[in-house]
């Protein structure tokens, strides 16, 4: 069995792409998308008529155009998979709880009008305090959420206490930060702070009986993925999925609910405590705002591409 086949027996594989051809070929259970991936999808010839029609429909109002294209591509993805698609809320709303809720409800309504049940949608929100509170309110309405840009245990704890369906800790971005901070170009997976962070979060959740699922994300290499074999879900770029499918390495389960390594005290955070923990966590304090800025920049790239297409 290939490494990919073995992993599929331990964890749910999610395709981190909006490329419909790749999703059709790879056949993941779930898929996730974002403005960068939507921009790439819209460059394909088969999407040009849709793009032109949508621009005409909304007279070039790019916010409305992006929303409709996001839903359209989400629906296309759902035709190719059995599970759920994560749909990202505009990152500019990351520090605005009510605006995040409102946008999420717009998305759910649009999917409903397209014949898609809300059970097949994960609303993707940045793991700010405001984002977590928005997701908590949405979860109470039966709308499932995926909390992204998660780099610290305080974010993970707050998400679990809020009853969030799914979190996406960013393994690769933590490794990038670690390499820069330690001035190292090569860090073994046993010392990889991204891998260690996800392992700790997974252990904390299982030890304390949380239902929130952990989906490792943002991988730089297959070693990181293999080191998290057994995680609830892993969202992987197509090139790394393909690489895993060529490996015949024996995969050993690294994470399971029964493999508790150490006793981890249960903690909780109010807003003040969360903000203090955020400032004290050098990695999260650096990467969370940088990640939001990156998502906003990716959206601006999409806006520019749409304006250029007029």
Tokens describing residue 281: 């966590």
Residues 248, 251: Cα–Cα separation, whole Å? 9
CA 12-79-110 angle, 5° bins? 105
Tokens describing residue 34: 């974002």
Taking CA atoms, 287 is separated from 78, 117, 284, in Å, by 31, 34, 5
Which stretches of 144-270 are DSSP H helices? 153-161, 171-182, 193-207, 222-226, 238-244
Of the residues 124, 133, 193, 206, only one is catalytic, namely 124
8 is catalytic: no
- Look at residue 277 and give its three-state secondary structure: helix
The secondary structure of residue 29, as a DSSP letter, is: S
| β-bridge pairing 233-236 and 213-216 | parallel
- Look at residue 289 and give its three-state secondary structure: helix
Per-residue b or e along 267-294, where b marks 16 or more CB atoms closer than 10 Å to that residue's CB: eebeeeebeebbeebebbeebbbebbeb
CA 162-167-173 angle, 5° bins? 135
203 neighbors 183 (Cβ within 8 angstroms): no
Would you name the residues annotated as active-site residues?
124
């Amino acid at each position: 069995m290939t490494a990919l086949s073995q992993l599929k027996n331990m964890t749910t594989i999610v395709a981190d792409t909006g490329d419909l051809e790749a999703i059709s070929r790879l056949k993941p259970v779930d898929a996730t998308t974002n403005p960068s991936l939507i921009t790439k999808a819209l460059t394909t010839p088969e999407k040009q008529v849709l793009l032109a029609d949508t621009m005409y429909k909304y007279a070039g109002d790019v916010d409305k155009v992006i929303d409709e294209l996001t839903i359209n591509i989400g629906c296309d993805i759902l035709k190719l998979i059995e599970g759920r698609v994560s749909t990202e809320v505009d990152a500019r709303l990351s520090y605005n709880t009510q605006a995040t809720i409102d946008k999420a409800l717009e998305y759910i309504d649009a999917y409903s009008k397209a014949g898609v049940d809300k059970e097949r949608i994960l609303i993707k929100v940045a793991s700010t305090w405001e984002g977590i509170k928005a997701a908590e309110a949405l979860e109470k309405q039966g709308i499932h959420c995926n909390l992204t840009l998660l780099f610290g245990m305080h974010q993970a704890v707050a998400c679990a206490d809020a009853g969030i369906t799914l979190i996406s800790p960013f393994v690769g971005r933590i490794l990038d930060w670690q390499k820069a901070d330690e001035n190292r170009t090569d860090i073994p997976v046993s010392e990889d702070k991204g891998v260690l962070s996800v392992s700790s979060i997974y252990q904390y959740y299982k030890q304390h009986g949380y239902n929130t699922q952990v989906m490792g994300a943002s991988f730089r290499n297959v070693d990181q993925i293999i080191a998290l074999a057994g995680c609830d879900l892993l969202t992987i770029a197509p090139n790394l999925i393909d690489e895993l499918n060529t490996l015949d390495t024996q995969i050993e389960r690294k994470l399971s609910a029964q493999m508790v390594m150490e006793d981890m005290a249960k903690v909780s955070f109010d807003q003040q405590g969360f903000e203090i923990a955020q400032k004290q966590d050098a990695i999260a304090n650096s990467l969370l705002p940088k990640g939001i800025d990156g998502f906003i920049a990716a959206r601006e790239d999409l806006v520019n591409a749409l304006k250029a297409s007029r």
